Amino acid sequence: MTNMNAPEEKSAGILTGKYIGQRVHRKEDPRLLTGHGQFVDDVSVPGQLHVAFTRSPVARASIVSISSDYAREVPGVHAIYTQQDLADFNVDMISFFLASPDVKTTPLADGRVAYVGEPVVMVIADSRAIAEDAASLVEVEYAEETPLITIDDARHGAPVHPGREDNIAAQMGEEEIDEDLEALLQAAPHLVTHKVVHQRISQSPMETRGVLADPEGPKELTLYITCQSPHMVERWTSLALGKPDMAIRVIAKDVGGGFGLKNHPWKEEVAVILAALKFRRPLKWIEDRYENLIGANQAREQEMTLQVALDNDGKLLASHGDYSCNNGAFPQLSECNIAVHMFVWGAYKMPAYGFLTRGWYTNTVGYAAYRGPWAMESLVRETALDVAARRLGIDPIEIRRKNLVTLSEQPTESCMQIPLEDVTPAECLEKLLGYFDVDAFRREQAEAREQGRYLGLGIAAYIEPTGSAGAIATMTGELAQVRIEPTGKVTATMSTHSQGHGTQTTMAQIFADRLGVSYEDVSVFEGDSSRGGFSPGAAGSRQGVIAGGAAILAADKLAEKVRTLAAHLLQVEAAAIAIDAGQISVAGNPDKSISLGELANIAYGEPDRLPPGMESGLEAQHRYQPPPMTFASAANACVVEVDRDTGFVKIQRWISSEDCGTPLNPAVVEGQVSGGLAQAIGMVLLEEVGFDERGNPTAATYKDYMMPAISDIPTFEFVHANTPSQSVGGMRGVGEGGAIIGAPTLVNAIADALAPFGEVEVNLPLTPAKLLSVMEGRDLTPPKVVAPVAVEPVAPAPVAEPVPAADATPAGPVVIDGDWKMILSTPMGPQEMQGHFETSGDNLSGYLSSPEGQMEFTGSVVNGNNLVFDLKVTKPMKITLKYNLLIDGDKISGKCKMGIFGSAKLTGERL
C-alpha cells in the first residue's frame, strides 16, 4: 500500500488527446446562453422573506440610540434585528485560514460603527422593496468621531478599535534595515528607490453577493449562496456558528464571478443566516450594486517602496522592501501579505533581501482577496527594473536576461529559500521575443517621437505559485468521483467549483479521453457541498492543476476496472483491451467486442458474472495530493500610444507568453488569462474606490467606479510556451496570472512612452490627468482643503511600546513554572497555543502545544522574567523559531523571530 498522502507519480509530459488540449465547446454554455443558469437570486423557496440592511452613513462613531418605531409600522415588515438580537449565537467570524479575528467582529454593528456602509440594523419583510422602504425609516443616532481613512492616517491616529494599542493589524519583518543589508545597499554602484501606490479595488463580480438561508428545523440548514466553494462555505459556517451537530448543505450551481470576494460568508451573509435560524423562516438577501461598492469587502490599497542595488552592468546586488496594506476596519484576514516578500525576487538572482511588511486598520470597509492578492511583488519589481534600466542606460530586456533564473540554472532556491525546479520566465521571455520584433518597434517608436507621438513598449516577467496544497488547513487536495452508469454514460462529481472557470468542461474532457468515451456522454456535477468532497474551490489557481490530476487518476482507476472486467468476460488478456467512443474492442480479434453500456449493465446487475472478488458497479474515486506548489511562469509585452493632447492611453498590441503546463482547453486557458489582463488594465487605467476625508465612498455606482469596457481592452495574442509541471497531467495554474503580470506590463509601456518627459510616478490609476501632468510638467497635488468637522476630533491616544523592554522590572516575585495560554500573530492569522515551562536555576525547559502537535525544548535560559528559547519546525518549511518572552505577573508577552518571516508578536496569560 502506498502512502496516499504523499505526492504521487510525476507527470510524463504535456498531455494531449482527442479532447484534452482541444478547444472543445463548454458544457456550461447552452444553459447560460439561454438564460437558464441558476444564480442565487434565481432560487426561491416557499415561505421565503426578504432582508434589507440599514447601513452606517458615518465612518466612525458610537451608536447612541436605534429607533425602529416607524420602520415597524410599514405593512409587510415581519421583524427588525440589531446585533443584540444576534448576540446569543456568539458567531466566530473566522478567516479563510479558519483563525479567529484579531478584533471583535460581529455581523451587525455592536455599539460602534467603523466604516461607512457597515450594516447596523436588518429588516425582514415580505419583499425586498418593502424591506428597503422600512430600512430607510430606521433612525440611528451616532456620536461621530474623526475617522482614519488612509494608511498614513492609521500610522498616526487614535486606534480604530478601542482597547488596541495601535492600528497595526499585522506585521512581519524587521523595523530597522539589517546592518549588513544596509551596507550592501549603500555600497552598491547604483541604488534605485522605487515607490508604487496601488489604489483600492472593488472585485466587482457581475453577480453581487447574496444568500438564501433555509433552516429546515433546528438540525438542518440549506444555504443557496453565491460563493467560490460550497464545501468551504459549509466548513466555514459550521465552525463560525459552532454547530457541529447541524447538517449544513450549501448549493451554488452558477456563480457570477468571485475573484476573491466570495471565499466565505461575511457580515451580511452571516446576519441573514443567523436571522433565518432565529426567525425560523427562509430569508433571502440580494446585495445591490450600491451596497456592493460600499459594503462588500475590497482589495489592494497598498503602497510599497523597493530599494534595489545594482552594479554597473545591471546585475542585482541587494534589495529591501517596505510594504503597507490598508486592512480597513474588519478585514477577512488581518493581513500584511507576506507572500509579496516571498515572491518579489522569486525568479531573479537576488543575493540579499530584507523587508518590513505591515497591515493597518482604518475606518474603511474591510480587506478581502482579489485575484493575485500578492500581485504587488510583480508590479513593484518589474516597474523598478525598468526604472533601473533607464537610469543605467541598459535595455529593459537585457536587465531581465542578466538576472532571471534560467531553466539550466535549476534546481536552485530563491533569496527567500523558495525551491525553484522548473520555472520558465526567462524561457517565456525568449519565446515572446521570437514572436515580437523589438528592433522594428524601436524604429517605429523613434519615428513617431519625431512626429510628436509617444509610443511605448512594456515588458514584464513573473512566476506564480499555483495549485498549493498541504501547508495550509484549507488548501487541500481535490477529489474526483466518477462512475460509468448502467446506461453507459459517464457521471462525475467533483470538489471543483466554477465561477466561470469552465471546470465542468475541462474535467469532462479528461474523463472522456481517459475512459474512452465521447465528450457528449460525460456529465460533470459540482456546486453542491453534499456532492464531491472538500476543497477551497477557486482559490490560488488550483483547480486545473489539482482537480485535473484527481480526474486523471480516478478515471485511470475506473478504466483499469473496465479492462479487467472486459478481459474476464471476453476471455482475453487485459492488455489487449481497448476502449474508444464507448466501445470495447480486443486487439487482433475483431469478433470480440462489447459496448461500455452492456459491460456496465453486467457490472451493476449481474454480479455472478464478475471475476471473483470484484466489487460490483463501475465507480471510482481519487483524492489527489499534488506537490506542495506548482509554478506558472509568463512574460508579457504590450505597446501603447499616449495621446500628447489628452493623456489617453491606447493599447495597440498585447502579447502573452505563458507557461501553464498542459493546457486542458486552450480556449479556457486564454479566457482565464484574458480576463485577468482586462482586470489589470482596469487597475492601471480606470478603476478606483476612493473616499473623502470623512470616509464617504466616492465611487458608489458604475458611473463612478469605472469598469473596463470592450473599447478599453485590446485583442490579446498568445504564445503558448508550455512545459509540463511535476503534478499529474502536467498542468500549471492559470487563474490569477493575467491579473498579476498585466499591471507591470502596461505601466512599463506607459513609462517607456513618456520617458522623454521623465519618470512617471506609479500611483494607480494612471489617469489621463496624471499622464498629462507628466507631459506638461504640472503639479497635480490638490490644494489641501480641510473638511469641516462636525464633532470634536478625538485626540490620538498615546501609542504604547508594543514589546516591553527586556530590562523591565517585574512588580513581584516571578513565577514562570506552569501552563500558559498564548497567541502568536502569524502571517496566517493568530495561532493559539499552550506553553508549559519548567525552570531549574537558570535553565528553562518545557513545550509548546497546539492542535498541530507538541514541540519540546530544553537547554534554554531564563534571566529574571525573561525567557529565551528556540524551536525548530519543518512545516511549512524549515525554520528556527526564536522566542524572547517577558513575564509580568500572570501576563506573558514578547516576540518570536521566525526566520525569513521576520518577527511576530506573542501575548498570553497564565492558565
Partner 1 sequence: MSNHKIELTINGRQYSGDVEARTSLADFLRDDAGFTGVHLGCEHGVCGACTITVDGRAVRSCLMLAVQANGATVVTAEGLAAEDGTLHPVQQVMMEEHALQCGFCTPGVVMTLASLTGEGKQCSQAQIEGAMSGHICRCTGYQGIRRSAARLAYDAMGDSAQQGGDA
Q: Can residue 720 be called a binding residue for partner 1 (CB under 8 A)? A: yes
Rounded-to-integer distance, Cα 125 and Cα 654, Å: 51
Scanning residues 160 to 219, which ones bind partner 1 (CB under 8 A)?
204-208
Q: Can residue 282 be called a binding residue for partner 1 (CB under 8 A)? A: no
Scanning residues 635 to 664, which ones bind partner 1 (CB under 8 A)?
655-657
635 has which bridge partners? 461, 657
Residue selected from 42, 139, 220, 313 as contacting partner 1 according to rule CB under 8 A? 42
Nearer to partner 1, 32 or 420 (CB): 32
Q: Can residue 28 be called a binding residue for partner 1 (CB under 8 A)? A: yes
Beta strands in 161-314 (DSSP E): 168-173, 190-201, 210-215, 220-225, 247-251, 283-286, 299-310
855 has which bridge partners? 848
Nearer to partner 1, 415 or 734 (CB): 734
The residue type of 793 is P
Percentages helix, strand, coil for the chain (3-state, rounded to 5) are 25, 30, 45
Residue selected from 13, 16, 36, 443 as contacting partner 1 according to rule CB under 8 A? 36
Neighbouring C-beta atoms of residue 807, cutoff 10 Å: 10
Q: Can residue 674 be called a binding residue for partner 1 (CB under 8 A)? A: yes
Neighbouring C-beta atoms of residue 676, cutoff 10 Å: 25
Lookup result for grid cell 460600499: 294
Shortest distance (Å) from residue 144 CB to partner 1: 29
Pairing of strands 829-840, 210-215: unpaired
Q: Can residue 32 be called a binding residue for partner 1 (CB under 8 A)? A: yes
The residue type of 394 is I
873 has which bridge partners? 879
Q: Can residue 677 be called a binding residue for partner 1 (CB under 8 A)? A: yes
The burial of 53, by beta-carbon neighbours within 10 Å (0-12 exposed, 13-18 middle, 19 or more buried), is given as buried
Cell of residue 528, nine digits: 453542491
Q: Can residue 278 be called a binding residue for partner 1 (CB under 8 A)? A: no
Shortest distance (Å) from residue 651 CB to partner 1: 12
Would you say 331 and 446 are in contact if contact means Cβ atoms under 8 Å apart? no
Q: Put the strands of the sheet holding 577-580 in their side by side order.
A: 577-580, 583-586, 593-595
Nearer to partner 1, 508 or 602 (CB): 508
Best CA proximity match to 118, nearest among 107, 129, 102, 131:
107
Q: Can residue 407 be called a binding residue for partner 1 (CB under 8 A)? A: no
Rounded-to-integer distance, Cα 22 and Cα 528, Å: 28
Residue selected from 718, 757, 847, 857 as contacting partner 1 according to rule CB under 8 A? 718
Residue selected from 2, 3, 34, 874 as contacting partner 1 according to rule CB under 8 A? 34
The burial of 440, by beta-carbon neighbours within 10 Å (0-12 exposed, 13-18 middle, 19 or more buried), is given as exposed
Residue selected from 23, 778, 878, 891 as contacting partner 1 according to rule CB under 8 A? 23
Shortest distance (Å) from residue 537 CB to partner 1: 14
Shortest distance (Å) from residue 500 CB to partner 1: 3
Residue selected from 9, 10, 17, 29 as contacting partner 1 according to rule CB under 8 A? 29
Lookup result for grid cell 456522454: 521
Which of the stretches 298-306, 396-404, 575-583, 702-710 binds partner 1 when contact is defined by CB under 8 A? 702-710
Q: Can residue 55 be called a binding residue for partner 1 (CB under 8 A)? A: no
Q: Can residue 690 be called a binding residue for partner 1 (CB under 8 A)? A: no
Rounded-to-integer distance, Cα 14 and Cα 369, Å: 31
Q: Which residues contact 542 (CB under 8 A, 6 or more apart)?
A: 466, 467, 468, 469, 475, 478, 535, 536, 733, 735
Residues constituting the chain? 911
Q: Can residue 426 be called a binding residue for partner 1 (CB under 8 A)? A: no
Shortest distance (Å) from residue 207 CB to partner 1: 5
191 has which bridge partners? 309
Shortest distance (Å) from residue 260 CB to partner 1: 12
Would you say 763 and 197 are in contact if contact means Cβ atoms under 8 Å apart? yes
Scanning residues 738 to 767, which ones bind partner 1 (CB under 8 A)?
738
Binding mask 89-128 for partner 1 (x = CB under 8 A): ----------------------------------------
Which of the stretches 177-185, 336-344, 552-560, 697-705 binds partner 1 when contact is defined by CB under 8 A? 697-705
Nearer to partner 1, 671 or 899 (CB): 671
Which of the stretches 4-12, 626-634, 676-684, 760-768 binds partner 1 when contact is defined by CB under 8 A? 676-684
Residue selected from 2, 3, 711, 840 as contacting partner 1 according to rule CB under 8 A? 711
Residue selected from 448, 472, 686, 707 as contacting partner 1 according to rule CB under 8 A? 707
Residue selected from 715, 781, 809, 840 as contacting partner 1 according to rule CB under 8 A? 715
Number of residues counted as binding partner 1 (CB under 8 A): 67
User: Which SS3 state, helix, strand or coil, does residue 218 take?
Assistant: coil
Rounded-to-integer distance, Cα 218 and Cα 238, Å: 14
Distances (CA, A) of 896 to 646, 737, 872, 900: 53, 34, 12, 12
Q: Can residue 30 be called a binding residue for partner 1 (CB under 8 A)? A: yes
Rounded-to-integer distance, Cα 620 and Cα 251, Å: 24
Rounded-to-integer distance, Cα 229 and Cα 252, Å: 8
Would you say 309 and 385 are in contact if contact means Cβ atoms under 8 Å apart? no
Residue selected from 394, 667, 855, 879 as contacting partner 1 according to rule CB under 8 A? 667
Shortest distance (Å) from residue 658 CB to partner 1: 10
Which of the stretches 636-644, 711-719, 830-838, 853-861 binds partner 1 when contact is defined by CB under 8 A? 711-719
Pairing of strands 818-826, 649-659: unpaired
Q: Can residue 437 be called a binding residue for partner 1 (CB under 8 A)? A: no
Cell of residue 392, nine digits: 543605467
Q: Can residue 434 be called a binding residue for partner 1 (CB under 8 A)? A: yes
Which of the stretches 55-63, 439-447, 701-709, 728-736 binds partner 1 when contact is defined by CB under 8 A? 701-709
Shortest distance (Å) from residue 458 CB to partner 1: 17
Nearer to partner 1, 112 or 501 (CB): 501
Cell of residue 114, nine digits: 467603523
Which of the stretches 94-102, 296-304, 498-506, 867-875 binds partner 1 when contact is defined by CB under 8 A? 498-506
Q: Which H/E stretch holds residue 140?
A: strand 139-144
Q: Can residue 39 be called a binding residue for partner 1 (CB under 8 A)? A: yes
Cα 342 to its chain centre, rounded Å, is 15
Q: Which residues bind partner 1 (CB under 8 A)?
A: 23, 25-26, 28-37, 39, 41-42, 129, 204-208, 254-257, 259, 288-290, 431, 434-435, 498-502, 655-657, 667-668, 670-671, 674-679, 701-703, 707, 709-711, 713, 715-721, 738
